[in-house]
């Protein structure tokens, strides 16, 4: 897809797309906003007003009106997109604009001339988030379909028109949007793969390819090497499967070696629950249980592109949780990499086990702070529904920074507590910890409290995306299936940190 920018008169394009606020009149936009040289302008205004009146159209948020021009000019039609109340516009407005426009263009070879409103948001950010939304909502996974669905935008050219700020680097803005959205879609591709084609070894191979293409340093630990490092939690989770676990370490080396951001993503390539077997309906989508690892991989792809001045180290513990003859049993005790012993009272609470070793390993590497992301608990759905993911942290400053950037990224977070009382439920009679707390009580916070035992005093934040990692429908920039929720937010956070 090609993007172009103009700040003068329109050239002949297939479709003119006008964004407008509720308070505006269409004739003012058509006569003032750089398109006053359209042939038969008065006739076009009359036609547009007639359709607007007939349809009782108001430019409320995300409302769309298509106006045919019947040969009044070279343009085929005008599409009017409602931005809503000018005073309530926010950083996600243009992301949703791009997403909804892409859906309108499904299966259509259209060239779009987009008239961008610039009164309330920075021009560059408008363009960046519009591009993100357009690419994200155009996503489709049809690798295994013999007959492809015609539900993907085939738009080849988008031209932006507006009163752009002097010095705005609009090309860079589209590149940022493209880079972020493309990385998110890459993660969705990995999550969409059937578990038979996305084993720990296969995932590690994908990471290897990305490292080579992106000039990242990579290390892939095998079972033998994990045994030498006493990564017994990861090994225990994977021991019931014929597919061996792996541990991927990706490193980006910036100039400032004193600041090293650590990322960890849960990589359970399929979660049957192990011997604590899930019911069939709960198991259906469990190929998505490696979303955290795919998201971290996507973030590293973005990091390799924008080249921050600091370092970033990402780890992905990869295992398949299966009920084989050698599977981990309820009642077993594992000695973690940190030395703490864990009594396993639920083999379906396996994500926190692999993250326990991953978090401790990151600290051994000397990172400055840690963010982990995982489809960890069903309890987060009960707590928050599908409106927001849950975040928990031992450092309020880090949590505040993530929260402040979430609106810009368009991915909501809600902080849940880490009360000392939750640790009571993790006490074991025979080991240092149990891997699952009191049944039915604060499951999400309890799981995060378990993880906190392996991060000591380093600033750490945990994303639980089990409730938002999969969508049952298309909505704006979210497409049906895996969402890779959190990839944009972590990427935006690191980009923002690079400005400091």
Q: Where are the beta strands (DSSP E) in 450-489?
A: 460-464, 470-471, 481-482
CATH number of the domain where residue 239 is located: 3.40.630.10
> Which residue has 């001045």 as its token pair?
309
What pLDDT tens digit does each residue of the chain (500 aa) get?
788 887 666 666 678 898 889 988 877 777 655 555 567 778 888 888 899 988 889 899 999 999 988 888 777 788 999 999 988 888 889 999 999 999 988 877 778 888 887 666 678 888 999 999 999 999 999 999 988 776 667 788 898 887 777 777 889 999 999 999 999 999 999 999 999 999 999 999 999 999 999 999 999 999 999 999 999 999 999 999 999 999 999 999 999 999 999 999 999 999 999 999 999 999 999 999 999 999 999 999 999 999 999 999 999 999 999 999 999 999 999 999 999 999 999 999 999 999 999 999 999 999 999 999 999 999 999 999 999 999 999 999 999 999 999 999 999 999 999 999 999 999 999 999 999 987 779 999 999 999 999 998 899 999 999 999 999 999 999 999 999 999 999 999 999 999 98
Q: Which residues have C-beta within 8 Å of that of residue 447, sequence separation ≥ 6?
A: 349, 351, 352, 376, 377, 379, 436, 437, 464
How far is Cα 17 from Cα 3, in angstroms, rounded to an integer? 14
pLDDT at residue 492, as a whole number: 98
Counting every residue written for the chain, the total comes to 500
Tokens of 30: 């058509």
How far is Cα 148 from Cα 333, in angstroms, rounded to an integer? 49
pLDDT at residue 12, as a whole number: 61
pLDDT at residue 148, as a whole number: 77
427 and 308, same domain (yes or no): yes
> Which residue has 């009146």 as its token pair?
53
Q: Exposure string (b/e) for 308-344, b if CB count within 10 Å is 16 or more?
A: bebbbbbbbbbbbbbbeeebbeeebebebbbebebbb
Please spell the DSSP secondary structure of 368-424, one letter per residue: SEEEEEE---THHHHHHTTS-EEEEES-HHHHHHHHHHHHHHT--EEE----GGGGG
463: buried, middle or exposed (CB in 10 Å: 19+, 13-18, 0-12)?
A: buried
pLDDT at residue 6, as a whole number: 76
Domain tally, the chain? 2
pLDDT at residue 254, as a whole number: 96
pLDDT at residue 7, as a whole number: 66
Last residue of a domain, one of 165, 195, 212: 165
For residue 477, what is the DSSP state? T
How far is Cα 275 from Cα 272, in angstroms, rounded to an integer? 8
Which residues participate in catalysis according to the annotation?
278, 352
123 and 250, same domain (yes or no): no
pLDDT at residue 467, as a whole number: 98
CATH number of the domain where residue 135 is located: 3.40.220.10
Last residue of a domain, one of 136, 165, 194: 165
pLDDT at residue 495, as a whole number: 97
pLDDT at residue 10, as a whole number: 64
Whether 490 maps to a domain, the answer reads yes
Last residue of a domain, one of 126, 143, 165: 165
Sign for the pseudo-dihedral over CA of 207, 212, 217, 221: positive
228 and 161, same domain (yes or no): no
For 10, the domain range is 2-165
50 and 24, same domain (yes or no): yes
């Amino acid at each position: 897809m090609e993007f172009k920018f103009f700040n003068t008169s329109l050239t002949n394009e297939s479709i003119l797309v006008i964004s407008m606020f509720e308070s505006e009149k269409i004739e003012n936009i058509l006569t003032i906003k750089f398109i006053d040289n359209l042939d038969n302008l008065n006739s076009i205004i009359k036609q547009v007003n007639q359709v607007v009146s007939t349809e009782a159209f108001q430019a409320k948020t995300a409302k769309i009106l298509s106006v045919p021009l019947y040969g009044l000019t070279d343009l085929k039609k005008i599409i009017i997109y409602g931005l809503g109340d000018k005073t309530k516009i926010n950083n996600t407005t243009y992301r949703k604009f791009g997403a909804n426009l892409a859906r309108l263009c499904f299966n259509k070879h259209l060239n779009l001339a987009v008239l961008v409103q610039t009164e309330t948001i920075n021009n560059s950010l408008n363009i960046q988030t519009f591009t993100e939304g357009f690419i994200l909502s155009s996503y489709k996974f049809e690798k295994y379909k013999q007959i492809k669905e015609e539900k993907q935008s085939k738009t080849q050219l988008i031209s932006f028109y507006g009163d752009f700020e002097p010095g705005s680097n609009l090309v860079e803005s589209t590149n940022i949007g493209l880079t972020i959205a493309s990385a998110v879609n890459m993660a969705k591709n990995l999550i969409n793969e059937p578990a038979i084609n996305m084993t720990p070894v296969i995932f590690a191979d994908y990471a290897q390819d990305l490292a080579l293409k992106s000039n990242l340093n990579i290390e892939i630990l095998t079972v033998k090497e994990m045994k030498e490092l006493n990564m017994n939690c990861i090994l225990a989770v994977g021991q019931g499967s014929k597919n061996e676990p792996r541990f991927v370490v990706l490193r980006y080396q910036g100039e400032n070696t004193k600041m090293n951001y650590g990322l960890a993503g849960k990589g359970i390539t399929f979660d049957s629950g192990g011997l604590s077997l899930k019911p069939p309906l709960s198991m259906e989508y469990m190929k998505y249980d490696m979303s955290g690892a795919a998201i971290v991989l996507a973030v590293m792809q973005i990091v390799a592109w924008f080249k921050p001045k600091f370092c970033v180290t990402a780890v992905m513990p990869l295992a398949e949780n299966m009920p084989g003859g050698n599977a981990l049993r309820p009642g077993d005790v594992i000695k973690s990499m940190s030395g703490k012993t864990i009594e396993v009272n639920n083999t379906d609470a396996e994500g926190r086990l692999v993250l326990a070793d991953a978090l401790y390993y990151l600290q051994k590497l000397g990172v400055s702070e840690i963010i982990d992301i995982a489809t960890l608990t069903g309890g987060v759905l009960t707590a928050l529904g599908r409106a927001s993911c849950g975040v928990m942290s031992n450092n309020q400053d880090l949590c505040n920074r993530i929260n402040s950037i979430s609106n810009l990224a368009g991915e909501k977070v809600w902080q849940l507590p880490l009360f000392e009382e939750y640790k009571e439920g993790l006490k074991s009679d025979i080991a240092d910890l149990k891997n699952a707390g009191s049944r039915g009580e604060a499951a999400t916070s309890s799981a995060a409290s378990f993880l906190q035992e392996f991060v000591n005093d380093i600033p750490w934040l945990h994303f639980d995306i089990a409730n938002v990692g999969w969508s049952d429908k298309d909505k704006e920039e979210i497409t049906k299936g895996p969402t890779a929720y959190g990839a944009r937010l972590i990427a935006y956070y690191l980009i923002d940190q690079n400005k400091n």
